[in-house]
Amino acid sequence: MSLKLILYSAITIFFNGAVLRRYLKDELLLTGPYTLLILLPTITQPICQLIFGGFCGITLFAIASYRIYQRLPQRFIDTDGKYVFISGCDSGFGFAIAKALDEKGVHVFAGCYLKGQEGEQNLVKACSDRLVTIQLDVTSEESITNAVKTVQEKLQGKDLWALVNNAGIMYLGEAEIVAMTIYKRVMAVNHYGVVLLTQAFLPLLRRSKGRIVTMSSTGSEIAFPMLSAYCASKAACKSFMDALRLEMMKWDVSVSTIHPSGYATNLIHKETWEQNITEILNAVKPGLLEEYGPNYKACYMKKASPLSLPSDLTPVVTAVDHALLAKSPLPQYIVGLSAEIHMLLAAWLPIGVSKYLVGVFLLSKSSISKVKNSSSDKPETPKRAVSAESGKLQDEEKIKEEVETPSEGNAN
């Protein structure tokens, strides 16, 4: 018996054994076509051996079998009597997740940064009386302690099923331009805030053997120019969750991370975007912008304009729903085509290759190049730029035409 045949057979046996184990644990919902799907690796094994033959075929067969295994339909737990705490529910993902869970009969504790404001008021109107809004600042230990006390009072001895870490912020700017105060603020919300909130609710979650779901980013795996503060915070958050997942195994607490592609949430709302840009530029060290060129500020303002991204948050809500309510949740959910591509680049390609592909095909070599003056006093600008996480290219020629040059007497 050849080594290749042994490997093909081992993959098939392992797949069937894993499926049988989940079926006996009543985790799978096997009806009609899905029963045939389970048999697919066994049926196609001889065909793969015949067509692909070598170790390349074995690799493809293993990947295909794993993808089928991941996508087998699961049974979901009963939502009756389930209580979930979600941070960052003023808008975006948090708002949509809270609304969707409320519609399924889940008792939702919605942490809102601005309680009494429009976001919280709209959420209350959109949901049933089961929903409870709680003022929450994830950077404040006092605020978190008060939130935990409120939850315990509302539970009245019942169990908290899950925590959803959703609150987050993002600033767009080159590493040298962004002030340390902004780096600390991003880290305080996106990483330390997650740690503080998770630690505060862990006693309740260990008791219920519940779930922890955290909104991460593809930026946790592959960094993008202009997003050094954001990517650093998300990488730290993901590492924390990876370690926590292993530590919580003995407590039967499930830990999942969500890695969405770019969506139109409040993070890139026009007003928020402009406020963040102004804050970054006002905090730049004296003389630094001049070193980057006379038209750098104008280019920056153009390139940092709000992105055109999908507004339908359903794929992300579906992933969070699965992580919270499926009988066997996944440790990681990659949501969206661009997210799949980014994570694939980070996982399978050498750093030099992935950096080249990101630099050439997804992003400009430098998101905003130093603007040099030619003999005609016209600034040189990069030809292409890309929005973080969405992977969509923007035509930089429009920026070049709109930026006023020194020869026109209006340059910065």
Contact between residue 111 and residue 88 where contact means Cβ atoms under 8 Å apart: yes
Q: How far apart are CA 7 and CA 288, in angstroms?
A: 59
Distances (CA, A) of 40 to 5, 12, 13, 18: 17, 10, 13, 14
Q: How far apart are CA 139 and CA 197, in angstroms?
A: 9
Q: How far apart are CA 72 and CA 321, in angstroms?
A: 16
Question: Pick from 97, 72, 71, 73: which is nearest to 85 by CA?
Answer: 97
H or E element at residue 379: none
H or E element at residue 322: helix 314-325
Kindly name the residue from 8, 83, 230, 333 that is annotated as catalytic. 230
Within 10 angstroms of residue 363's Cβ, the number of other Cβ atoms is 21
* Residue appearing with tokens 């928020």: 272
Strand ranges inside 261-388, DSSP E: 332-335, 384-386
Question: Pick from 280, 314, 296: which is nearest to 183 by CA?
Answer: 280
Question: Pick from 147, 152, 122: which is nearest to 135 by CA?
Answer: 147
| Residue 69 appears among annotated catalytic residues | no
Contact between residue 327 and residue 27 where contact means Cβ atoms under 8 Å apart: yes
Q: How far apart are CA 160 and CA 111, in angstroms?
A: 15
Q: How far apart are CA 258 and CA 325, in angstroms?
A: 14
Question: Pick from 69, 52, 72: which is nearest to 8 by CA?
Answer: 52
Just list the catalytic residues.
230
